Amino acid sequence: MTSDVVENEFEFYSKAEKYWKDVPATVDGMLGGYGHISSIDINSSRKFLQKFLRDGPNRTGTTCALDCGAGIGRITKRLLLPIFKTVDMVDVTEDFLTKARSYLGEEGRRVRNYFCCGLQDFSPEPNSYDVIWIQWVIGHLTDNHLSDFLKRCRAGLRPNGIVVIKDNMAQEGVIMDDVDSSVCRDLDVVRKIIRRAGLHLLAEERQENFPDEIYHVYTFAMR
């Protein structure tokens, strides 16, 4: 549990905000120096997402998506805008959202809102999103804040909408990273938080072809 490793909640959040303010507003910056894995990541995410967009009675719509911890819009640009009519972005770092406006190019006109906010304080508009995509950011939330945020995400879904988490998974327990003030949870902890938020796990997949030296990365879909 994060309560075991986060001693001061205010410090946990403010230190992370400060860390990201100093990170270059580039794809390499967003990926901690691993910019070269971006295409592998996006292609896997696209395949994962397509499973829910196929024809059928419970097909997920393609009207609007929300990119959480969006940074400069790497995922918005390459994964979400090619599929959804409109996209909203939320990130705690103002400079990243400013950079996104030029990084996204012409297609960026279909980004409706740029919300500058930490996810612990953010509430998706109810019944608004077909997909809420949360990637490489849950480590910046305490367990309670993550559970509460996922509850608000659940309310933010349109009919047949899904919440997707894609993130690093620890081998065991919860590991603190003092550099960027984040935690890495193991699979069991993440699944428990998902259940606590009242969400039902629809699919879970391990990312392949990432460098051996980084954490295992898993993608979860839920509603």
Domain residue ranges of the chain, discontinuous segments joined by +: 2-222
Instruction: With a cut of 80, say whether residue 3 has pLDDT above it.
Output: no
Per-residue pLDDT of 12-70, as tens digits, reads: 999 999 999 999 999 999 999 999 999 999 999 999 999 999 888 889 999 999 999 99
Domain 2-222: CATH superfamily is: Vaccinia Virus protein VP39 (3.40.50.150)
Binding residues: 69, 74, 91-93, 119-120, 135
Sign of CA dihedral 155, 157, 162, 163: negative
Helix (H) or strand (E) holding 141: none
Binding residues for S-adenosyl-L-methionine: 69, 74, 91-93, 119-120, 135
Per-residue pLDDT of 200-214, as tens digits, reads: 999 999 999 999 999
**pLDDT at 98 (0 to 100):** 98
Strand residues in the chain grouped as ranges (E): 64-68, 86-91, 111-116, 129-135, 157-169, 174-177, 182-185, 201-206, 216-222
| C-alpha 42, offset from chain centre | 13
The Cα–Cα gap between 74 and 109 comes to 15
